[in-house]
Amino acid sequence: MVSWSEDSSSDNSLPRDYSDVCPDWLYDSDFPGEEEEIRCHHGLRGSRRVARGGEHTGRRYIGCSNIIQDCGFVHWVDPEWPNPMKKRLLHLWSNHEMGQNCQREIEKAGMMDAERRKAMEEKMKAEQLFFKAVEDKNIAEFALRKAEEERKKAEEMKMQLELQLADIETESKLKVKWLRQLVLQKERCLMYVGGVVLLLLGFVLAVVVEKNYV
């Protein structure tokens, strides 16, 4: 950048170039401070600045010193650049803006890719939860079927036991009846044998008595 001195910014050397189009700017240590004799629309002392951006890049100017409410006052210190330089500056800034746009697109694409990856991760998590839920459902259904089978088996065993108990009860009743009949038959047999024995004893006794009388 061209070296500037305090003398070059005196009132005698300042071109009378005013404008209400306030360019982007930056502070430059070679062109610091404020102008005493040049006032902005607010009536404040003008602030020394260097234009940044477009065909005015590098040109010194005096602007409004109220940064919060800039009145848009512009007083150019340096003359306009030659047209070839303007074109080159415009071309450079165009490339710069294209680069910034590309960077923004890259960042945007990166953000979209990050969001896509996040969405894919969320989708994978949702699918995993869904598959786990399906697996849990299948396990629960299998356990339910198993429990139902066990219940049916238990009912079948209960029915079989009830039938077996009924058979045993019937058989026990038959055995008791048979034993009672057998006991009754034995009692009758004993009574018959007892009667026969008594008859024989009577007969023997009669024979003995008869022999004694003879």
pLDDT digits over 122-133, tens only? 999 999 999 999
Whether 68 maps to a domain, the answer reads: yes
Residues 106 and 92 in one domain: yes
User: Averaged over 24-43, what is the pLDDT?
Assistant: 81
Q: Which residues pair with 47 in a beta bridge?
A: 34, 63
The yes-or-no verdict on residue 2 having pLDDT over 70 is no
Whether 202 maps to a domain, the answer reads: no
- Give the domain range for residue 88: 82-175
The yes-or-no verdict on residue 148 having pLDDT over 90 is yes
Q: If pLDDT is split at 50, 70 and 90, which confidence band does 206 have?
A: confident
Whether 152 maps to a domain, the answer reads: yes
Q: What are the tens digits of pLDDT across the range 71-107?
A: 888 899 889 889 998 888 888 888 888 888 888 889 8
Number of domains in the chain: 2
Pairs from 57-60 (Cβ < 8 Å, separation ≥ 24) = 57/89, 57/92, 57/93, 58/1, 58/2, 58/89, 60/4, 60/9, 60/28, 60/31
User: Averaged over 153-161, what is the pLDDT?
Assistant: 92
Whether 180 maps to a domain, the answer reads: no
Identify the three-state secondary structure at position 60: strand
Residues 86 and 171 in one domain: yes
Q: How confident is the model at residue 11, as a pLDDT?
A: 39
The yes-or-no verdict on residue 214 having pLDDT over 70 is no
User: Averaged over 172-190, what is the pLDDT?
Assistant: 87
Q: What is the pTM of this model?
A: 0.41
Q: How confident is the model at residue 127, as a pLDDT?
A: 92
Percentage of the chain with pLDDT > 90? Answer: 23
Structure tokens that stand for 190 in this block: 């004993």
Residues 11 and 73 in one domain: yes
Residues 106 and 72 in one domain: no
The yes-or-no verdict on residue 22 having pLDDT over 90 is no
The H-or-E segment that residue 37 falls in is strand 34-39
Q: DSSP letters along 16-30, please?
A: -EEES----EE--TT
Q: How confident is the model at residue 123, as a pLDDT?
A: 92
Whether 197 maps to a domain, the answer reads: no
The lowest-confidence range among 62-71, 100-109, 111-120 is 62-71
Task: Please report the beta strands in the chain, taking only residues with DSSP state E, as ranges in sequence order.
Answer: 17-19, 25-26, 34-39, 45-51, 60-63, 74-76
